[in-house]
Structure 1
Amino acid sequence: MIELLNDDELHRVRATGHLVADILQDLRGRSVPGTNLLQIDRWAREAIEAAGAVSCYVDYAPSFGRGPFGHYICTSLNDAVLHGRPHDEVLHDGDLLSLDLAVSLQGVVADSAISFVVGDRRPPGSPELIAATEQALTAGIAAAGPGAHVGDIAHAIGTVLQGAGYRVNTQFGGHGVGSTMHQDPHVPNAGRPGRGYRLRPGLLLAIEPWVMADTDELVTDEDGWTLRSATGSRTAHSEHTVAITEDGVEVLTLPTPA
């Protein structure tokens, strides 16, 4: 299913996007050495409920998972890159943490992810890994707009990631959003320009580059959810929800203006 939002829905999703971004930035500031991943999940729940929003994750049970996700945020740590299920583990100085959050507010969804190094230590390669996904996200957003194709976004992302020396897995990537979290079209992180679905005003896309330091192969934890690099290498993930407008593209998952 592909939804095209009307002006009222686009107005409402701006509030959703700000909420997601504000929660992520708050959690980033609170994620310090000694913080438990389950505490981050509790903070996310409290913030979502205080805003009158609804988690997109708690009851989420797609074909690739093992039953409902059962938590409010994805906490992917070090070699975990996607769908990291919060569990009883404490953060340490130098850990690389990715937080992925999707909520519904007033009937429309926004989805975003950030990666950062916890504490003061900066293990070699980690800042570069994060920067590559952020730069790829910027390139993917710049390639979007009315009349562009999904392949244009995919090509822009892949060019940055592969140019930085990373291999790209296209099994999981970006996707449409709207009244639900995951919709068509699929937006892979590598592709050919001019191919795929043609973008039109009212379309919401979650664009999400992610990479693993030395592989493009994933393995799944026993929890049936958490996806890790097959080699145990570090990973990073960056994501924004954007709206295709009549004259370009609008990034929705930015913090509320001061």
Structure 2
Amino acid sequence: MTIHLKTAEDIAQMRVACRLAAEVLDYIAPFVQAGVTTGKLDALCHAYMRDEQGTVPAPLNYAPPGYPPFPASICTSVNDVICHGIPGDRVLKNGDIVNLDITVITKEGYYGDTSRMFIVGEGSILAKRLCQITFECMWKGIDQVRPGAHLGDIGHAIQQHAEQAGYSIVREYCGHGIGKNFHEDPQILHYGRPGSGIELKPGMIFTIEPMLNAGKRDIRTMPDQWTVKTRARSLSAQWEHTVLVTDSGHEVLTVSAGTQPRPSQAAPAAA
């Protein structure tokens, strides 16, 4: 495992890339309404990145070994889609939940990666609770990030909060290091044991992006080789931030004017 500790210049560039990714979500939020297609959301985001930001959508034509090129600029994962949903003709309807996953590449070559959940219209109590607990899980993980902590501390905090709420953690997908590459070491599991895994050091930058299912954690991959759904056809939710390990704790990099504040339930205990 090769983990690249970021320089001061890297960190400054990553702040820009991650803010730009978050601003795409700010821009698209008003368009996430009943009647819009996921393909329209993709087209709007693509145009905003290209014409307003001067960034490149990282998912477009992304093709890791064994996969066909991803055919869109964002991922749109609706209801029982866990991740990597391909935008298309699907029309959002009242009560749907959708994760929009955004990754931009700046002209300097740095990647910014973040995602948010959106509830279309008036969601069910189940949908709202799943989205909220998943949001809290992400922050429970973020709150573990500091020099000297371990990756297992992040995963344990997320797993404990999710399972106490009655949800399951998807284990096939995880967070990842990021910088001048879309995916770098280390992998950030969203389950684990306290004190296990590598020790965190200042200069690490990685995503924390838990995926929670309302039913069992089992997955099924669609014939397009990208779209991943819950095997039980239950709802699934995901939130994602990119986080820097600082000398004294952490800094969340994927922040913008529209970024949802830390939930009070996930705030660290007072000293």
- Write the distance in 1 (CA, Å) between the matches of 2:239 and 2:257: 19
Report the equivalent of 1:12: 13
- Write the distance in 1 (CA, Å) between the matches of 2:49 and 2:200: 30
Report the equivalent of 1:45: 46
Name which of 50, 57, 60 aligns with 2:59: 57
Name which of 109, 113, 116 aligns with 1:114: 116
Please report the RMSD computed on the Cα atoms of aligned residues, expressed in angstroms.
1.5
Over 3 Å off, 4+ runs: none
- Write the distance in 2 (CA, Å) between the matches of 1:162 and 1:54: 37
SS at match of 1:236: strand
Report the equivalent of 1:238: 239
Deviation digits for residues 196-241 of structure 1 (CA, Å, limit 9, x no counterpart): 1111111111000111111101111121101001011111000000
Deviation digits for residues 26-85 of structure 1 (CA, Å, limit 9, x no counterpart): 212211111111111111111111211122111211246x31102110000111011111
Alignment of 1:104-143 (within 5 A): 104-105=105-106, 106-119=108-121, 121-143=122-144
- Write the distance in 2 (CA, Å) between the matches of 1:143 and 1:168: 18
Shift of 1:257: 8.4
- Write the distance in 1 (CA, Å) between the matches of 2:16 and 2:4: 19
One-letter code of the match for 1:110?
G
Contact 2:97 2:123 in 1 (8 A): no
Shift of 1:123: 1.7
Report the equivalent of 1:166: 167
Contact 2:75 2:101 in 1 (8 A): yes
SS at match of 2:169: coil
- Write the distance in 2 (CA, Å) between the matches of 1:143 and 1:137: 10
- Write the distance in 2 (CA, Å) between the matches of 1:173 and 1:229: 16
Residue range with higher mean Cα deviation, 102-111 or 188-197 = 102-111
One-letter code of the match for 1:49?
R
Contact 2:23 2:258 in 1 (8 A): no
Contact 2:151 2:197 in 1 (8 A): yes
**Unpaired segments ≥5 residues, structure 1:** none
Shift of 1:256: 4.4
Alignment of 1:198-209 (within 5 A): 198-209=199-210
- Write the distance in 1 (CA, Å) between the matches of 2:110 and 2:203: 12
Report the equivalent of 2:251: 250
Number of equivalenced pairs: 256
One-letter code of the match for 2:118?
F
SS at match of 1:151: helix
Contact 1:174 1:207 in 2 (8 A): yes
Report the equivalent of 2:103: 102
